[in-house]
Structure formats: structure tokens, C-alpha cells
Amino acid sequence: MQVTGKVVVVTGGANGIGKALCEAFHSAGASKVVVADMDSSNARAVAATVDGAAFKCDVAQEKDIAHVIDETERQFGPIALFCSNAGIGGGFDPMSVNAGGASDEPWQRSWAIHVMAHVYAARHLVPRMKARGGGYFLNTISAAGLLSQVGSPAYSTTKHAAVGFAENLAISHKAHNIKVSILCPQGVDTNMLRSIPKGPQSGDGDLAPEQVAKDVLAGLDQETFLILPHPQVLGYMRKKTENYDRWIGGMAKIQAKMRDEFGK
Ligand SMILES: NC(=O)c1ccc[n+]([C@@H]2O[C@H](COP(=O)([O-])OP(=O)(O)OC[C@H]3O[C@@H](n4cnc5c(N)ncnc54)[C@H](O)[C@@H]3O)[C@@H](O)[C@H]2O)c1
């Protein structure tokens, strides 16, 4: 798809990858870019630079997503592309004391933001897209949703669930001309990445959010399900499916190295 002349919504658009997506969609000629974020001051700042609109929204709340969709379509017309991009780090324990963690809170928060937010977007937009003959969802997930991120069980698990939901969205609605892409980078130089110590997620180099946004435009143009700004990820996926046990062993070695480094 081309975003030229289209209405686009980006959740988590106030910072990082989402901000770069808003800027790239504006430069590519989107008719309106809607920045939906909990961080309302930065959302307004980004909207001002892209001649867009800002909505304060907690993607974990279905009513907030429904409101963004209703108001965007009322004010600016049909949403052609909805980007579920908001995300949180969700706890990082380099020692991996217990993969189950100590409480439900980080799991529930990650589940709400990384999975249910995508479900709510679909619940409220699919009927409209079906009625008008199609639409597009771009879901920012992570290489952690395909490969796991050492030290981040809640993040990795909910990102895997997000991949599962995106596959189902694509399968269920291909016949309705609803397209889906998942964005699965490794390290991207944003506040989220800077909030955790440097680790294996940066092994192939951290990308600038602007580079990731360029890769998204190319991926949308080609309408590929999988958008991999770090092409190495495809090789890792192949290795994982070729021999799962060897892959677990390799990841456990990375975990052991991390424990040594952080345990000093
Ligand atoms: N930075 C990386 O290395 C990296 C790698 C792979 C995937 N990702 C994914 O990219 C996406 C964007 O992350 P980023 O790196 O740009 O981080 P970021 O922290 O710079 O931006 C995240 C944005 O999401 C917003 N947000 C968080 N919770 C929200 C909520 N409940 N409702 C509405 N907005 C909310 C924040 O206010 C912020 O503007 C996330 O889904 C993240 O998991 C990031």
C-alpha cells in the first residue's frame, strides 16, 4: 500500500519508532497522521510537526482505542492504516532469577499493551474495513516475538502472542482484503532500549528509528507480512525451526554469559 492521501493512526506515536513512523507517513503524503499516546505533550508536539492530530489514549483500555477510531473517522475520514505500535519494556532481569517473575503485574500490563491493544484495534476496525472493502494493520512487535529476548520473559511471551494474533488477523481477513504486517526489529535507538543495559538485542547493531520507518514504508509498499529491519533475524528464525533444542542451548549460553557479566 501507499500511504499517500490516506488517514493513518499510530499508537505510541509520541516517541521513538512511533514518532519516526508519523514523520515518515507525513513525508510520504498521508492526508492525516493521528498520534495516539499516553504521553499527551509529546503526542501534541509530534502532531504539530506532521500537520496531524493528537489523542491522549491508553491502548490498554478498549474504550480509548474505540474513541480514537471513532473520532479519527468522524473528523478525518476512513482509517486506511492502523499502526499498533505502543509498547513497554515490561521488566528486565539479566540474572533471570525466576522466569515466572514475582508478581502478575508486569505480565498483565504487558499482555494488555502488547496483545489486547491489537485485539481492540481489530475489534473496532475490522467491521468498518470489511464494509468498505479493505484496510491495513501494521503491528509493531519485535524480534523478541519470534526469537525471545534473554532476561525478559513477560516481554518475549507477550510479543510471541502478538505474532500469533497478527497471523490470525491476516488469515481470518485475507478474504476481506484486510492486510497485516508485523514489524520485528532487534535493537532500535529509543528511550525503551536506553532504559535497559546493552545486551544481545544490540548484537547486530542498533538502528535509528528513522531507518526502521524507511523499512516500514518499503514493507508496506511490498505488502509483506514480515518486516525485518535487521535481516539477520530471518537466519536466526531458520536456525530455530531447523533444530529447536540446539537453539535453546545457544540462548541458554547467552543467558549464562549475561549472568556472569551482571553477577560480578
Ligand atoms: N527500541 C527497541 O529496541 C525495540 C525493538 C523491537 C521492538 N520495539 C517495539 O517498538 C515499539 C515502540 O517502542 P520504542 O522503542 O519506540 O519505545 P519508546 O519508549 O520510545 O516509545 C513507546 C511509546 O509508547 C507509548 N506508550 C506506552 N504505553 C502506552 C499505552 N498504554 N498507551 C498509549 N501509549 C503508550 C509511550 O508513551 C511512548 O510514546 C514497542 O512496541 C516496542 O516493544 C522496540
228-259: pLDDT as tens digits = 999 999 999 999 999 999 999 999 999 999 99
Cβ 117 under 6 angstroms from ligand 1:
no
Q: How far is the CA of 144 from the centre of ligand 1 (A)?
A: 14
The pair phi, psi for residue 7, each rounded to 5°, is: -90, 130
Give the bridge partners for 8, in sequence order. Answer: 33, 81
Task: Tell me the CA distances in angstroms from 8 to 80, 84, 120, 165, 200, one per residue in order.
Answer: 6, 11, 17, 21, 33
pLDDT tier, 161 (very low <50, low <70, confident <90, very high otherwise): very high
Mean pLDDT of 30-36: 98
pLDDT band at 96 (very low <50, low <70, confident <90, very high): very high
Q: Which atom of ligand 1 is nearest to the CA of 209?
A: 16
Q: Give per-residue pLDDT as tens, 86-95.
A: 999 978 999 9
Q: Is 207 in the pocket of ligand 1 (CB under 6 A)?
A: no
Q: Is residue 248 part of a domain?
A: no
Q: In 3D, which of 70, 217, 77, 208 has the Cα closest to residue 138?
A: 217
Residue 258 lies in a domain: no
pLDDT higher than threshold 90 for residue 200: no
Q: Minimal CA–CA distance to 10: which of 64, 51, 55, 45? A: 55
Whether 253 is covered by a domain: the verdict is no
17 CB less than 6 Å from ligand 1? yes
Residue 74 to residue 215: CA distance in whole angstroms: 30
Give the pLDDT confidence of 54-83 residue by residue, as tens digits.
999 999 999 999 999 999 999 999 999 999
Please report, in angstroms and rounded to a whole number, the separation of the first and last CA atoms in the chain: 50
Assigned domain for 118 exists? yes
Confidence band of 213 (pLDDT split at 50, 70, 90): very high
> Is 159 inside any structural domain?
yes
Strands laid side by side in the 135-140 sheet? 53-56, 32-37, 7-11, 79-84, 135-140, 178-183, 226-227
In sequence order, which residues have a C-beta less than 8 Å from that of residue 94 and are 6 or more positions away?
Answer: 151, 197, 199, 258, 259, 261, 262
Environment class of residue 102 by beta-carbon count within 10 Å: exposed (0-12), middle (13-18) or buried (19+)?
A: exposed
Work out how many domains the chain is built from and give that number.
1
pLDDT at 194 over 80: yes
For residue 264, pLDDT beyond 90: no
Decide: 140 in ligand 1 pocket, CB within 6 A: yes
* Residue 1 covered by a domain: no
Say if 264 falls within a structural domain.
no
Residue 170, domain extent: 7-231
Q: In CATH, what number is assigned to the domain containing residue 145?
A: 3.40.50.720
Q: Any idea what the Cα angle at residue 122 is, between residues 79 and 185, rounded to 5°?
A: 85
pLDDT at 202: 86
pLDDT at 99: 95
Does 204 contact ligand 1 (Cβ within 6 A)?
no
* Phi–psi pair at 27, nearest 5 degrees: -60, -30
Residue 136 covered by a domain: yes
- How do residues 167-187 score in pLDDT, each as one tens digit? 999 999 999 999 999 999 999
Mean per-residue pLDDT of the chain? 97
